Amino acid sequence: MKVSEVKNHEDVQEEKVTVSVQTSKIGTWISVGVVGAVILATYFVLFGLYMARI
């Protein structure tokens, strides 16, 4: 193994952080989408109930 091919501890840590940040962004957008869908569904249900009252 050549000396230039050896990765030090910091390089390995940076690679792990990069991978975890990418998967974390996907999970964050899924969570934001779910919360947004729940808010919209609640709004439409409440608006529908209000309009049915009149």
Taking the model in full, what pTM does it have?
0.55
Could you give the CA distance from residue 31 to residue 41 in angstroms, rounded to a whole number?
15
User: Which has the higher per-residue pLDDT, 54 or 26?
Assistant: 26
In whole angstroms, give the CA distance from residue 4 to residue 7.
8
Give the torsion sign (CA, 18, 23, 25, 26).
positive
* 2 belongs to a structural domain: no
Residue 21 structural domain: 8-53
The verdict on residue 30 lying in a domain is yes
16 pLDDT more than 60:
yes
pLDDT confidence bin for 25, thresholds 50/70/90: confident
* 3-state SS class at 1: coil
Q: What is the pLDDT of residue 3?
A: 56
Task: Report the pLDDT value the prediction gives residue 40, as an integer from 0 to 100.
Answer: 98
Domain count, the chain: 1
